[in-house]
Amino acid sequence: MTDDLRIQFLDMHNFRRSELAKGNVARKNGNRYPIAANMARMSYDCSLETEALSYTRQCPYAKSGSTNVGENFFRVSGLNTWADGVNQAVTSWWKVVRAGSSGVGVNAVTFRQVHVGTDIESWSQMAWATTNKVGCSIVKCLNEYVVDCRYLEK
């Protein structure tokens, strides 16, 4: 991991969270999510990165299932740069909210037990208002990039 990639991960997360906080994120039907009352700005956490790196070095095909922290996972081939891998991962986690299948409430953005294991889980890891730390890893396994981000508060 380079500092440039760390900054890219952090900036991509904080930009999307800021847009959500301002009420600028639209659902599939065009209606916008409500303005956030308490959206925390994320900071980068190298201990979370170390945890993610330990896992991605195994070249896994799915999330680790860690119960101590929030987690997003992505694996992709056909990219040219590490920065492309970061961009693809963060974009894929966020865009599910516009797919229309989230089931997230109209007047509030509330993650419920029914959402666990669904596509919206990746978005909620990034969008959770009180999440204030992120640490990520990207490694190359043969011709694929493997990306894992860890979050506190979960």
Tell me which residue of 99, 148, 146 sits closest to 119, measured CA to CA: 99
Q: What pLDDT sits at residue 41?
A: 96
pLDDT of residue 109: 54
pLDDT values of the chain reduced to their tens digit, one per residue, 154 residues: 999 999 999 999 999 999 999 999 888 778 888 898 899 999 999 999 999 999 999 999 999 988 899 999 999 999 989 999 999 999 999 988 776 555 554 444 555 555 556 666 788 889 888 999 999 999 999 999 999 999 998 6
Largest CA distance in the chain: 45
pLDDT score recorded for residue 137: 98
* Preceding amide of 51 cis, omega within 30: no
The pair phi, psi for residue 37, each rounded to 5°, is -90, -25
Model pTM score: 0.88
Q: Give the per-residue pLDDT at 94.
A: 92
* Superfamily name with CATH number, domain 3-152: CAP (3.40.33.10)
Amino acid at position 114, single letter = V
- Are 110 and 128 a contacting pair, CB within 8 Å? no
What are the structural domain ranges in the chain? 3-152
